[in-house]
Amino acid sequence: MDDLKEKYLGLIANAADEAAIEDLRVQAVGKKGEISLKMRELGKMTPEERQVAGPALNALKDEINSALSAKKAALADAALDARLRDEWLDVTLPSRTRAQGTIHPISQVTEEITAIFADMGFSVAEGPQIESDWYNFDALNIPGHHPARAEMDTFYTHRKEGDNRPPHVLRTHTSPVQIRSMEATGAPTRIICPGRVYRSDYDQTHTPMFHQIEGLAIDRDISMANLKWVLEEFAAAFFEVDKIEVRFRASHFPFTEPSAEIDFRCSWVDGQLKLGEGDDWLEGGGSGMVHPKVLQNAGIDPAEWQGFAFGLGIDRLAMLKYGIPDLRAFFDSDLRWLRHYGFNPLVQPTLHGGLSR
């Protein structure tokens, strides 16, 4: 018995892991373990022998069992210590100071414009980029023979041979969203619609895909004065100056009457653009009072409702505000350009926090 005790206590002390402990348990006190077999021999002993051997064997079994559990607990503790040592993390280390990706200037400027108009009670509407002839042209009072159709360098889709319906187009402006939105909500309404538009054109200031933002406000007594105020508020907030004067230049769009081109007062000093002061004017986009036929086409009674609309070029606003010279670079996906002109993805443009920090 002393030999057994010495043997197992030695083996247990040297066991490397929990699996080894389990093996030893089976070997010693399992059903067919060495000590269990010895216990079976008790039956063959004389009562005197049994009185000595019985308690001794039981004591040995207890001792081995407690050595097994003690070693098991010690191994678990050691494993936990090792893990705590390996998985230690210094949470006081500074994190990366700048995220890897950046927000594209177009996304940034779209967010900035949205924040400004949201503050004036406009909500955001969207429409499809593949648009029907009706929404892109006719509903906006641009009939088939109208020169505006030719001017827009439209991309047409194909119809199957023999299908004589007019083809769908890649929308040439965001104005069709005016119609869709008025159809959906009726009057009164106040929306902006930012999005992609397409025209077959390519040079330093034109790409076949670009971005516009449409504005529309319909109510009972809205006038050009409201339009002008909204545009001045917008421009001052967007260019982050106290005040910007807006000038209306008489123009023509089929979907507005009267129509006006929007100019912002500015100056160019040494190639540097300054908004809100000076004797120059910067072209901003088109606008006007929504044509009664357009209201009618969208199911709104022009005898009861009126409103203004405007369309601005997002890409151009981004180029002007952030001094980006070539429009084509916006869509080249050049990582160096994106890192240089991109914005911190962890900062959301807001009016109270600042648009372009």
Stretch that binds ligand DAH, among 1-9, 26-34, 65-73, 309-317 (CB under 6 A): 309-317
Residue 310 interacts with ligand DAH (CB under 6 A): yes or no? yes
State yes or no: residue 343 binds ligand DAH (CB under 6 A).
Answer: no
From the list 172, 182, 75, 93, the residue with the least C-alpha distance to 132 is 172
Which one, 4 or 224, has the nearer CB to ligand DAH? Answer: 224
Report the residue from 107, 207, 256, 306 that binds ligand DAH according to the rule CB under 6 A: 256
Which residues 261-290 are close enough to bind ligand DAH by CB under 6 A? 286-288
| Alpha carbon distances (Å) from 150 to 137, 143, 144, 166 | 11, 11, 10, 15
Is residue 342 within 8 A of residue 106, CB to CB? The reply is no
CB 218 within 8 A of CB 178: no
Exactly one of 102, 175, 189, 207 binds ligand DAH (CB under 6 A); that residue is 175
Contact criterion met (CB below 8 Å) for 169 and 158: no
Task: Give whichever of 194 and 286 is closer to ligand DAH, judged by the CB atom.
Answer: 286
Give the whole-angstrom CA distance, residue 172 versus residue 127: 12
306 binds ligand DAH (CB under 6 A): no
CB closer to ligand DAH, 35 vs 309? 309
Taking the least distance from each CB to ligand DAH, the nearer of 57 and 187 is 187
Q: Which residues contact 77 (CB under 8 A, 6 or more apart)?
A: none
Number of residues that bind ligand DAH (CB under 6 A): 11
CB of 149 to ligand DAH, least distance (A): 12
Of 149, 171, 173, 190, the one binding ligand DAH (CB under 6 A) is: 173
Nearest distance in Å: CB 239, ligand DAH: 20
**What is the spatial distance between Cα 235 and Cα 237, in angstroms, rounded to a whole number?**
5
Q: Are the C-beta atoms of 212 and 195 separated by less than 8 Å?
A: yes
Smallest gap from residue 311 Cβ to ligand DAH (A): 3
Q: Which of 309, 318, 319, 329 binds ligand DAH (CB under 6 A)?
A: 309
Q: Which is nearer to ligand DAH, 288 or 349 (CB)?
A: 288
In the complex, the residues that contact ligand DAH under the rule CB under 6 A are 173, 175, 214, 253, 256, 286-288, 309-311
